[in-house]
Structure 1
Amino acid sequence: MGEKLPTNRLSEEKFNVFWGLPVLASDAISSVAYAVDEILWVLVPSIGLISYYWAPKIAIAIILLLLVLTISYRQIVSAYPNGGGAYIVAKDNLKVKYGLIVGASLSVDYILTVAVSISAGTAAVTSAIPALYPHRIAIAIFFIALMTIGNLRGVSDSSKFFSIPTYAFLVTILSLLIAGIIKSIGGTAVPIPPMVSDPAVSFGTQAISLFLLLRAFSSGCAAVTGVEAICDAVPNFKEPAVKNAKLAYVLLTIFVIITFGGITYLATVFHPVPNSQQTVIAQLAASIFGRGLMFYIIQATTTVILAMAANTAFAGFPILLSIIARDGYVPRQFAMRGHRLGFSNGILLLSLAAGMLVIIFQSDTHLLIPLYAIGVFTSFTLAQAGIFLKWFRTKPRGWVYKAFINGLGTIITFITVIVIAVTKFLSGAWVVLLIIPLLVIVMMKIRNHYTMIAKRLDVPNDRIERLKLSPKPMPYVIIPVQSLNVMVIKTLRYAKSLSNEVEVFNVETYEGEADKLRSKWAKLKTDVPLVIKQSAYRDIVGPLTEYIESNEHASRPGDVITVLLPQFVVAKPWEMALHNNTSLFIARALLNYRNIVVSLVPFQIEEKSELYKDIDLEIE
C-alpha cells in the first residue's frame, strides 16, 4: 500500500490535533447518528409519546457521564503518556488479570465499533436510497475494505484521508441543528408522521418504570464509546503529545455535547419514530429541509462519518494490541510495524473480525448495539479504579481532587456496567460476557507459552563462561531424492564437504519406478550408497522417518543426522504451484524430530541461463 518507510521516519507518521481529532474521536462524534435512535427504540414501543419527554433527561445523564470520563481520561493521559490507556492503568495499579480483562474488553469493543459504525453508515445509505437495502451487507464489506486499505497506507496518510469527512459531518449537522431550532422557535416545526408500514413501529402505553429508563440509558451509552481511543494512542500525536491529546479530549467533549444534545432536542420537537428503514437523522433532515439537495448532503456526510467512525478502532486497536503483544499476552507478530510503519497485522485482524460480525448480524445496527457498550464500560470501570488507587498510593500534588474524580468515575461506570449487563443480557450481552473471560484465558496461555519457551532457550550468564564450543563429530547425512539430476549432484558435492558418512535415499511409490534411478546411479563414480524403499501407499515422508529411526544406517543413537533436501527455485513465484514441492513437506515433517538437522539446498532455475552454470560437473 505504498513505498516502504524507514524506521527513522516514524516521527513523521504522527498527527497534530486538527488531523488527529477526527481519526481518534470520530466514533464518539458519529454516535449521534444512532445513539438517539437507540434511546427511542427502547422508549417509543413502551411508553409512546411520553418518550420525547424522557429522552432529553436520559441524554443529559449520558452527557454528565461523558464529562466525568473526559476529566478522568485527561488525568490518565498525564499519568501514562506512552499510551495503552486503560490496559496499562489496570495492569500497573490493580493486578495483571484486570489489565487482561481491560485488554480483552477493549479488543471486543473495537471490533464491535467497526461493525456498528459501518452498519450504521450502511443504514444511512439505504435510508437515502431504499432500493439498496437488500445489498446492505455487500456495501458494509466494501466500506470495511476501504478503511483497511486507507489505514494500511500509514497514520499520516490515513489521518488526512479520513479527517475531512468528519469536519464535513459536523458542518452539516450544525446546519441541521440551526435550521431545526429556527423552525422550532418560529413555530413551524411539524411532528413527523410515523411509518406505519414498518411492523417494528408501534406506540406503547405501558407504565414508566425505572428498568425501562435504565434500558434506554444503557442503549444511549453508545454515545460515549470511543472515548478511550485518544488515551490509547497518545504516542501518535506530535509533540507535545500529552498537551495535544488533552486538548483533543476537550474538543471531543464539546462536539459530542453539541451534536448529541442538539439531535435529542430536535427529536423532542419533531417526534421522529425509530424504524428499520429510515434513521432519526434522515427523518429530521427530510422534515426540516425536505427531500432535496440538503437532505442528500446530510445523508452522504452521515454515511461517510459513520464509516469513518470505524477509523477510531483502526487507530486504537492495533496500538493496544501491540502493547499487549510486547507484554507477551498476544502473538508477537502484532507488535511488528508494517511497511508503512503502521501495525498492519492488527489492522488486518480487526477488519476480518468486523467483517465476520457484519455478515453474521446482517449489518443490522440494532442487533449489534446490545453487544456494544458492555466491553468498553468494563474497561472504563477498571481504568478509573486503577488510577484512583494510583493517586492514593503516590499522593501527588492535588491528589485529593484527582482521586475524587476517578472515584466518582469508578462508581458511575460500575453502575453502568451492571445496568447494561442486566438490561441487555438476553439481547446479546451474554455473548460478550462469555467471550471476554475466554479471551483472558487465551492471553494467559499465550503468556505461559512464551515464558516456557524463554526458560528452555535461556543460557544463564554463569554457564556461558563455562561453555565449550568444541566441534562435534561429523554428522551423518541423508539426501532424499526422486531422480538423479543436476541439483542432486550439487547437493552431493555439498554433503561430501560436510561429512564422509553420506547416503542417498529414494522411495519407490510405483513398481519399477526406481529402475531408471538404479541404472543412472550405477554409472556415477561415487562411493555414496543408494538406499531404495518401497511405499505401498505412495507416501514419502513416512518411509523416510522410519528409516531415520531404524538401525539400518551407520549412525549411532544420539548422533546428529543432517537431511539435505534439494529444492529448485523458479524465477516466477506462480510457477512453484506447478510442482509438488516435496522437499518442503519433508522439511516441515522432520522439524518435529530431535537430533535431525534439516537443510534446503536451493538450485535457481532461470530460463535464459547457461546449462549447468551453477555447478562444475567436472566431466572427463
Structure 2
Amino acid sequence: MLDSLKRFLIGKPLKNEALSGEKYSVFMGLPILSSDAISSVAYATEEILLVLYPVVGILAYGSMLQVSSAIIGLLILITLSYRQTIENYPNGGGAYIVAKENLGLISGISAGAALSVDYTLTVAVSIAAGTAAIISAFPILEKHRVLICLVILVFIMIGNLRGITESAKIFSIPPYAFILGMVTMVIVGMVKYGVTGVVPSPPPATEVAAQSSVTIFLLLRAFSSGCSALTGVEAVSNAVPNFEEPSTKHAKTTLMLLALIVLIVFGGISVLANIYRVVPVEGKTVLSQIAESIFGKGFMYYYIQATTAIILAMAANTAYSGFPLLLSVIAREGYMPRQFAIRGDRLSYSNGIMILSMLAAILIIIFRGDTHLLIPLYAVGVFVSFTLSQSGMFMKWIRERGKGWLHKAFINGLGALVTGVAVIIIGATKFVHGAWVVIVIIPILVNIMLKIRHHYTAVAKQLKIESKELSSVDFEKDIYRNRVIVPIASVNKASIRALRYAKTISDSIAAFNIVMDDEEKEKIEKKWALLNTDIPLIIRSSPYRKVVSPLLEFIQSEEYDLKKGDIITVVIPQFSVKDWWHKLLHNHTSIFISTELLKHKHIVIATIPLRLKDDKDAIRK
C-alpha cells in the first residue's frame, strides 16, 4: 500500500540514463531558481516601512526610496559578482566551493552552513508570506495559519520529489503569472497617477505626524529588513550543473534576467508605495493595499492576491532546488552524511528534500507561521555566504593574476566589502529580534560538519587495506569456528525454518528461549521434546522481562565455552505480514535484538524471513 501511494505521489523510478534529460532550460530555470528573489519583493518594501513608519510617520516614504535605491545598487553589484562565480565554478556548490578553495576549509564549511540555514529559512519565510497573502484576502482563515503553511509545504515537497523536470512543469507558471501581474500593476499605477491625475487619499492625520527625525541607525535597520529582497540571488550559481549545456551560459543568462526582474518589480513597488502612501497595518499586506488602491476590489486585485500568494509559497522551490544540491556537494566531500549525495527514485536528491521539509515545518510551528517573526532570522545566513563567496573570488584573482584580473578583483572585492558591511548591519540591528539564533547556529553547524568529516576519516583509515596486503589474504585457511544460536519465542514454523538453516552452516547449534514463568517453560519443553533433533534447547528465566541481556550472559558464560576466534552467528526467525497495518500489531523484538548484538564484533546477525499469507486466505484454509 505504501509503495503504491509513493508511486502515485512521486511517479515511477527513473533510470540513471534519464539524468541527462533532467535539466533546466533558461525558460524553465528562471522561474524555479529565481522565485525566491522575485517573490521577496512582495514583502521587502513592507519590511522597510514597518521599520520606518512607526517612528517617523510620513517621512518614511522618502527614506524608503533611499533605502530601496541602496538595495538595488547592492543587487547590481552582487549580480556582477556571481556572474564571475558561475563562469569559474560551473560544477555547483557556489559559495561553499569558492570559499573552501580560496579561503580555506573553515571558511568553506562556514559558507555551506550559512547557506543551509538560509535555505531552510527561505522555505519557512516564503510559505509563511504566501499564507499571509491568502489571509489578507480572506481574514477568516487566520486561525488556520499554521495548518495552511504545512499543507503548502507538503505540496511543494511532493512536487520536488517528482524530479527536476516534473517540478519545473508544476512550479514554472506561477512566477511568470506573478511577474505579469506586478508589471501590469506598476504600469497602471504609474499611468493612473501621472497621466489621469488620480490622487490617492492621504493616510489619517494621526498616522502621518512624524514622531522623530530620520537617523542613520533607523535607515540601517530599514536597510537590513529590506535586504530580504536579495535572498535567492545566489541560487543560480549553486545550481549550474542543473542547466542544459552550455550550462554556464544558460546560468549567466538566467542570473541577469533575474536581476532585471527584481530591479523592475522591487523598484516599482517601492515607488508605488510612496505615491499611494500605503500604511503598514495588521492583517493586510502593503502589496494588497497598493493593488486595491490601483484596481479596486475587482478581478485584477484578486489576481494580484492569488499570484502573490502562490509565488510567495512557490519561492520555497528555490531552496528545494539549491539546498539538496548543495548538501550533495558537501556530502561527497564528507562533511555531511553520505545519504545526501544519493539520488532518489526520480533522480532528485530526495533525502535533502525531505530533511529541508522537516526543518522548515519545525520553524513554521515554532514561529506560528508569522512572517515578521521569521524575517529577522532570514538575511544573516545569505549575506554571510555572499561575503565569503566574494572574498574567495577576490583572493582567487589576487593569487592567479590572469587576464583582466584587476577588473574582476575590483568587482568581487567591492562585493565582499559591501556585503560584509551588510552582514554587520543586519547582525547588529536584528540581533535582539532573533538574528542571534542564526549567529549561534552557524558555528554549531560548522562544528557538526567537522565532526562528521572526522568520523568518516577515522572509518576509512580503519577499513583501508594496502594493495600489497591483498595478495597475502588467505581464504582457504579455517580461521573462524562458526557457532550458531537460534533465539526462539516458541516452537513454530518460523523457528523450525531458522533451525534448518542453522544446520547448513554449522555443527555447533543451540536454540535459546527466554521464559517469564514456570508454566511457560513447561509448555515449550513439551513441544521441543516432540521434535526429532539433537539441537539442545537452552532456557533462561527473565524476571525483569529482558530479552537481549540473558542471551549475552549465556554467550559469555562458562557453560557456552566460547573460545578465542569463535564467531557467533545468531539466526533470528522472523515472519513478515502482508499489510502495513499488520506490522503495528507485532512486537518486532528481532529489531531490538539485532541492534544490541551488532555492537559486538564477534557476533553475526542473520534473519530468516517467513512470508505469511493474507489473513482471509489463511483462515479459509
Aligned partner of 2:478 among 457, 471, 476: 471
Residue 172 of structure 1, CA deviation: 0.8
Question: What's 1:397 paired with?
Answer: 403
Question: Residues 588-620 of structure 1: CA distance to partner in whole angstroms, max 9, x if unpaired?
Answer: 211111211111122223359999xxxxxxxxx
Could you tell me which amino acid in structure 2 is paired with residue 104 of structure 1? A
**2:490 counterpart (454, 473, 483):** 483
Distance 1:296 1:473, change over 3 A: closer
Q: Deviations over 1:506-538 (max 9, x none)?
A: 111122212122223223332221211111122
CA distance in 2, matches of 1:196, 1:491: 86
Whether 1:340 and 2:349 are equivalent positions in the alignment is: no
Gap change, CA 1:581 and 1:53, over 3 Å in 2: closer
How far apart are the structure 2 equivalents of 1:192 and 1:36? 20
The one-letter code of the counterpart of 1:496 is: K
User: What corresponds to 1:230 in structure 2?
Assistant: 236
Q: Which residue of 1 aligns with 2:289?
A: 283
Within 5 Å, give how 1:432-581 maps onto structure 2.
Answer: 432-469=438-475, 470-581=477-588
Does residue 33 (structure 1) correspond to residue 42 (structure 2)? The answer is: yes
Report the AA paired with residue 481 of structure 1: I
CA RMSD of aligned residues (A): 1.9
On the 8 A contact 1:73/1:228 being kept in 2, the answer is: yes
Q: Which moved more, 1:45-54 or 1:239-248?
A: 45-54
Structure 2: which amino acid aligns with 1:247?
A: T
Could you tell me which amino acid in structure 1 is paired with residue 172 of structure 2? S
TM-score, with length taken from structure 1 = 0.95
Q: Which moved more, 1:537-546 or 1:11-20?
A: 537-546
Q: Deviations over 1:68-118 (max 9, x none)?
A: 110110100010101110110001111111111111111111111111111
Matches within 5 A, 1:155-166: 155-166=164-175
> Which stretch shifts more, 41-50 or 458-467?
458-467
SS at match of 1:550: coil
Give SS of 1:566's match.
strand
The residue type equivalent to 2:550 in the other structure is P
SS in 2 for 1:514: helix
3-state SS of paired residue (2:520): coil
Give the SS at the match of 2:601: coil
For residue 7 of structure 1, what is the aligned residue in structure 2?
A: 16
In the alignment, the residues of structure 2 paired with residue 609 and residue 117 of structure 1 have an alpha-carbon distance, to the nearest angstrom, of 49
1:88 equivalent in alignment to 2:94: no
Cα separation, 2, equivalents of 1:163 and 1:105: 27
Given candidates 181, 184, 195, the residue that maps to 2:193 is 184
The answer to whether the Cα contact below 8 Å between 1:562 and 1:596 also exists between their aligned partners in 2 is yes
Amino acid paired to 2:177? A
Residue in structure 2 matched with residue 321 of structure 1 by the alignment: 327
> Is the Cα–Cα contact under 8 Å of residues 555 and 562 in structure 2 kept in the other structure?
no
Shift, 1:193, TM fit: 5.0
Partners of 2:235 and 2:57 in 1: how far apart? 36
Give the equivalent residue in structure 1 for 2:184: 175
The match for 1:61 among 70, 73, 86 is 70
- Larger CA deviation: 9-18 vs 588-597: 588-597
Question: Is 2:387 aligned against 1:381?
Answer: yes
What is the CA-CA distance between 1:195 and the residue it aligns to? 7.9
Q: What letter matches 2:265 in structure 1?
A: T
The answer for the alignment partner of 1:588 in structure 2 is 595
Q: In structure 1, the residue corresponding to 2:197 is in which secondary structure?
A: coil
Question: Any conservation in 2 of the 1:509–1:539 contact (CA below 8 Å)?
Answer: no
**Normalising by the residue count of structure 2, what TM-score does the alignment of the two structures yield?**
0.95
Match of 2:360 among 337, 354, 360: 354
After TM superposition, the structure 1 = structure 2 runs for residues 286-301 of structure 1, keeping only pairs within 5 Å, are 286-301=292-307
Please report how far the alpha carbon of residue 134 of structure 1 lies from its aligned counterpart in structure 2 after TM superposition. Answer: 2.1
Query: Quick one: which amino acid aligns to residue 406 of structure 2?
Result: V
Could you tell me which amino acid in structure 1 is paired with residue 582 of structure 2?
Answer: E
**In structure 2, the residue corresponding to 1:597 is in which secondary structure?**
strand
**Residue identity opposite 1:559 in structure 2:** D
Task: Read off the aligned partner of 1:135 and give its amino acid letter.
Answer: H
Other-structure match for 2:130: 121
What is the alpha-carbon distance in structure 2 between the residues aligned to residue 264 and residue 317 of structure 1?
30
Specify whether residues 425 and 196 from structure 1 end up closer, same or farther in structure 2 by C-alpha distance, changes over 3 A only.
Answer: farther
By how many angstroms is 1:477 displaced? 1.3
State the Cα distance separating 1:257 from its structure 2 match. 0.7
Q: Which moved more, 1:183-192 or 1:406-415?
A: 183-192
Q: Match of 1:254?
A: 260
SS of alignment partner, residue 307 of structure 1: helix
Matched, 1:99 2:105: no
Structure 1 SS opposite 2:510: strand
User: Which amino acid in structure 2 is aligned with residue 282 of structure 1?
Assistant: S
Q: What residue number does 1:51 align with? A: 60
Q: CA–CA distance in 1 between the matches of 2:110 and 2:285?
A: 34
> 1:45·1:203 contact (CA, 8 Å) conserved in 2?
no
Name the structure 1 match of 2:5. none
Report how far residue 553 of structure 1 moved.
Answer: 1.3
Aligned positions, number: 608
Deviation sequence 1:223-251 (CA, Å, 0-9, x none): 11100000000011111100000000110
C-alpha contact (below 8 Å) 2:484/2:571 kept by paired residues: yes
Aligned AA for 1:305? I
Which range moves more in the overlay, 127-136 or 92-101?
Answer: 127-136
Distance 1:567 1:37, change over 3 A: same
Distance in 1 separating the partners of 2:586 and 2:182: 60
User: Structure 1 residues 557 and 84, CA, compared in 2 at 3 Å: closer, same or farther?
Assistant: same
Contact 1:563/1:598, CA 8 A, preserved across alignment: yes
Look up the SS of the partner of 1:554 in the other structure. coil
Moved more, 598-607 or 407-416: 598-607
Q: CA deviation at 1:472?
A: 2.4
Q: Distance in 2 between matches of 1:137 and 1:190?
A: 39
Residue 143 of structure 1 corresponds to 152
Q: Where does the alignment leave 5 or more consecutive residues of structure 1 unmatched? A: 612-620
Looking at structure 1, the residues matched to 92 and 594 of structure 2 have their Cα atoms a distance apart, in angstroms, of: 42
Deviations 1:383-418 (A, max 9, x none): 000011111222222111111100010100001001
What amino acid sits opposite 2:63 in the alignment? W
CA contact (8 A) 1:318 1:334 kept: yes
Matching residue's letter, 2:433: S
Residue of structure 2 equivalent to 1:616: none
Equivalent in 211, 225, 242 of residue 205 of structure 1: 211
Post-superposition offset of 1:563: 1.3
State the Cα distance separating 1:194 from its structure 2 match. 4.4
Q: Shift in Å at residue 205 of structure 1?
A: 1.8
Distance in 2, matches of 1:45 and 1:189, equals 27
Tell me the distance in 1 between the aligned counterparts of 2:282 and 2:315: 21
Give SS of 1:109's match: helix
Quote how far apart the aligned CAs of 1:338 are: 1.0
Aligned-partner Cα distance in 2 for 1:210–1:435: 29
CA deviations 1:256-300 (Å, max 9, x no partner) are 111011111111111101122111111111111111121111111
Q: Secondary structure at the match of 2:329?
A: helix
Structure 2, unpaired ranges of 5+: 1-9
